[in-house]
Amino acid sequence: LPMVIDHLSKPKIKDQKIDDWKKDLQAAAKFPNIYCKLSGMVTEADWENWKPADLKPYVDVAMEAFGPQRCMYGSDWPVCELAARYEIAFSALNEVLGDISTEEQNAIFGDTAKKFYGLK
């Protein structure tokens, strides 16, 4: 049964707590049927004072644990608007992902979701 973890499992980005969350996410990633959605991060950060660098450690953990073939982008719109306009939240994820390959970008921003949800 394929399953997806939404919103990176809601890490406590504002409080910069990562250890317990990281351990749990890595444990989930051991199951090949579990995927992770890269979404909901800006609303877990300090709404008034966050920057893309605050999100990076969490995205890095997810990418390392699941890889781009089991990570997928989620807009979290309109909820993301509580902390940032959609364009800013989207741009922040792209910045945090850095120089990933076109194949990895395609996976995260479409191919993984197509595979998971059985879309064409």
Over residues 11-55, the pLDDT tens digits come to: 999 999 999 999 999 999 999 999 999 999 999 999 999 999 999
Domains of the chain, each with CATH number or no CATH: 3-117 (3.20.20.140)
pTM of the entire predicted model: 0.95
Question: Of 98, 104, 79, 100, which is closest to residue 89 (Cα–Cα)?
Answer: 79
What DSSP element (H or E) covers 106? helix 102-106
Q: What is the pLDDT of residues 71-89, one digit of tens each?
A: 999 999 999 999 999 999 9
Question: Of 11, 9, 24, 21, which is closest to residue 71 (Cα–Cα)?
Answer: 9
How distant, in Å, are the alpha carbons of 36, 53, 54, 56, 82 from that of 2? Answer: 11, 31, 30, 26, 30
Rounded Cα distance between 18 and 51, Å, is: 17
Which residue(s) pair with 35 in the sheet? 4
